[in-house]
């Protein structure tokens, strides 16, 4: 790889090169910090880890706490370690790691959960730092190079880095020389303020409308620190039998939609979340009958490289390359082959409802659970315990041509291999309403909900998606609720409020959602 000086084309910035130790005094308790990164890619590593070492060495736990604003989750060795050292007071808008989740759910860390496209926009509006006039105290940005004008060429993700660079009072650049320069891979647009914003002129996944760098006032850059730690990304789990069955149902559905004339032969741009089910769907597409496909999504995982290699994926737009370590090696070894078919955009653009609706994106995401009327919970287990956050699923599901949610029908508990049903009478927290979703899928089957009233949706979801261990219980509840509510003339969406959460209560007390009866 090239040296640090080779990557800095702006001569006046060469005298701002500093060691990690030299920048630590810039960090003060209570500061609002913006980090680059989206998933464990493109985030600062050297400085956050050194600051954590400093806090631990000098016993400053709880005495140096920061408000942390990042586009999505990043590496757990940074934000989760900060949480373990009581270094995070607030965290927006999405996170990962056991320590940070424990801090949030114990009330020690305040978290604001927000749709990712709206978070980026609201950060630019100054909503999260009103006491500072809408500014961040300090931004830490991982870059792969700096232009002769002092503009920033990002690395393997974009996220909210453009908004941080614009709104931070000061910037520290972590220039990563362990990775190639990503110059040319990004499409950066800085949105205008309302009320006379111009439209984003993207009508094809491959359209580019911005610059390959983030414009930056070089006077903001107070230090440049070299980083030599490559992204480790996210390792992929093996596709299991349940994920494969779900993927098969979705591919069968796509083929039926093409045959019916509701989808073109090459489908429409695909958005896919992360995890085993998403990878299984992509794996089926690699082997399936469709070609000349495109992807408009948040993150690209290793299976997308297989998709490119199959010759069936033409182009992909995302905000992050969330490859595994092996995936990054493969990507770098075939740089020209892959990069001519990929563009990385800011999350405000990658997740923007305007593009999602115009392109006709097919959105596929995994919830915690959904109920028989097609409300879905993506964030709060039991309605109260935060896991990661809503992420970009709402951005896509509320604006997609087809909104698909896929989930196992059941999950195990310590005492019961099918102790949790992911199809319930009513979800205890709603992230995606019945108005957002078109199709629900489990390994049991697929429920196409388009054009159905609530009671018809409920019956189809019970028949197609519920596990056999729970189907009779759900049917009994639905029959009882329908009889009671319809007889009283209040039966558009029947529920028995004194019993609707009995399954969840039984789980809390007995370790299973299999109740004896609804009485």
**Any idea which residues carry the catalytic annotation?**
298
Q: How far apart are CA 149 and CA 366, in angstroms?
A: 43
Cα 228 to chain center, whole Å? 26
Where helices occur in 261-390 by DSSP H, the ranges are 276-287, 302-309, 325-333, 335-339, 347-350, 353-359
Q: How far apart are CA 426 and CA 432, in angstroms?
A: 13
Q: How far apart are CA 483 and CA 269, in angstroms?
A: 43
Strand bridging mode 420-421 / 410-411: antiparallel
Cα 404 to chain center, whole Å? 16
- Angle at Cα 274 formed by Cα 199 and Cα 161, nearest 5°? 45
CB atoms within 10 A of CB 291: 14
φ, ψ at 7 (rounded to 5°): -85, -10
C-beta separation of 303 from 282 below 8 A: yes
C-beta separation of 49 from 78 below 8 A: yes
What distances in angstroms separate CA 256 from CA 99, 265, 295, 403, one per listed residue?
45, 11, 20, 16
Q: How far apart are CA 279 and CA 300, in angstroms?
A: 10
């Amino acid at each position: 790889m090239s040296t640090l000086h080779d990557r800095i084309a702006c001569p006046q910035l060469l005298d701002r090169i500093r060691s990690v130790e030299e920048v630590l005094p810039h960090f003060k308790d209570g500061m609002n910090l913006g980090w680059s990164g989206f998933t464990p890619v493109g985030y600062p590593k050297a400085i956050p880890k050194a600051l954590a070492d400093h806090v631990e060495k000098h016993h400053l736990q709880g005495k140096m706490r920061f408000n942390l604003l990042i586009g999505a989750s990043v590496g757990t060795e940074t934000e989760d370690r900060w949480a373990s050292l009581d270094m995070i007071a607030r965290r927006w808008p999405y996170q990962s790691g056991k320590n940070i989740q424990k801090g949030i759910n114990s009330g020690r860390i305040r978290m604001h959960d927000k749709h990712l496209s709206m978070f980026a926009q609201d950060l630019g509006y100054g909503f999260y730092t009103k006491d500072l006039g809408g500014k961040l105290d300090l931004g830490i940005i991982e870059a792969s190079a700096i232009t002769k004008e002092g503009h920033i060429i990002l690395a393997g993700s974009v996220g909210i880095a453009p908004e941080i660079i614009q709104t931070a009072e000061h910037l520290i650049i972590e220039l990563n020389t362990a990775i190639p320069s990503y110059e040319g891979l990004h499409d950066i647009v800085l949105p205008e303020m309302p009320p006379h914003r111009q439209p984003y002129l993207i009508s094809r996944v491959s359209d580019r409308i911005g610059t390959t760098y983030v414009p930056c006032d070089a006077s903001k850059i107070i230090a440049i620190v070299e980083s030599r730690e490559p992204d480790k990304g996210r390792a992929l789990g093996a596709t299991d039998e349940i994920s494969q069955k779900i993927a098969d149902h979705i591919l069968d559905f796509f083929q039926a939609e093409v045959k019916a004339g509701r989808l073109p032969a090459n489908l429409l741009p695909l958005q896919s979340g992360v995890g085993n089910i998403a990878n299984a769907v992509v794996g089926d597409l690699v082997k399936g009958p469709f070609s000349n496909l495109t992807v408009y999504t948040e993150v690209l995982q290793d299976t997308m490289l297989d998709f490119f290699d199959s010759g069936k994926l033409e182009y992909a737009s995302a905000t992050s390359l969330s490859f595994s370590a092996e995936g990054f090696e493969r990507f770098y070894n075939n740089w020209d082959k892959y990069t001519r078919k990929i563009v990385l955009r800011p999350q405000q653009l990658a997740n923007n409802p305007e593009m999602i609706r115009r392109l006709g994106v097919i959105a596929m995401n995994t919830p915690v659970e959904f109920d028989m009327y097609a409300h879905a919970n993506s964030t709060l287990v039991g309605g109260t315990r935060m896991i990661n956050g809503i992420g970009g699923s709402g951005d896509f599901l509320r604006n997609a041509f087809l909104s698909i949610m896929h989930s196992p029908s059941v999950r195990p508990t310590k005492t019961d291999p099918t102790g949790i049903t992911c199809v319930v009478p009513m979800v205890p927290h709603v992230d995606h309403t019945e108005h957002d979703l078109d199709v629900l899928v489990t390994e049991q089957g697929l429920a196409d909900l388009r054009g159905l009233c609530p009671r018809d949706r409920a019956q189809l979801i019970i028949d197609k998606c519920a596990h056999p261990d729970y189907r009779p219980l759900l049917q009994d509840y639905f029959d009882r609720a329908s009889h009671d509510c319809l007889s009283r003339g209040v039966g558009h969406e029947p529920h028995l409020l004194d019993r609707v959460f009995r399954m969840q209560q039984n789980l809390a007390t007995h370790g299973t959602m299999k109740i004896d009866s609804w009485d």
